[in-house]
Amino acid sequence: DAMVIQNPRYQVTQFGKPVTLSCSQTLNHNVMYWYQQKSSQAPKLLFHYYDKDFNNEADTPDNFQSRRPNTSFCFLDIRSPGLGDAAMYLCATSRPTGTHSNQPQHFGDGTRLSIL
């Protein structure tokens, strides 16, 4: 089945140790999104890619970076994780039609990140 896959499901890292979360998709969607969701809160958009064009949200900390080497894969890099970065990280994709007809986003299962 076509889907959005996030690995790993659970990630533990040490305070200050760089960590990379991965997302892959078989939907061939040209937009990929990364969200941060803290406990009992709504998902918060960090950034998104439209094809290779990177779009950062204004309030996303510099500590968060992203790479999209090809259509199928997108990575979230946290350069120096702090305790406040412990959260669920959700990847999503969509395929805008270019006709003002906003399409649903398709989400992965998420990666729950813990910081020791």
Binding site for another protein (CB under 8 A): 31, 33, 40-43, 45, 48, 50, 55, 88, 90, 92, 94, 96, 98-110, 112
Residue closer to another protein by CB (options 63, 109) is 109
**Least distance (Å) between residue 19 CB and another protein:** 18
CA distance 104 to 116: 35
Residue closer to another protein by CB (options 85, 111) is 111
**Least distance (Å) between residue 42 CB and another protein:** 4
Q: Which of 28, 31, 29, 66 is nearest to 46 (CA)?
A: 66
Residue closer to another protein by CB (options 17, 38) is 38
CB of 34 closer than 8 Å to CB of 91 = yes
Supply the DSSP string of 41-72, one letter for each residue.
S--EEEEEEETTEEEE-TT--TTEEEE-SSSS
Beta bridge mates, 44: 36
**Least distance (Å) between residue 80 CB and another protein:** 25
Residue closer to another protein by CB (options 33, 64) is 33
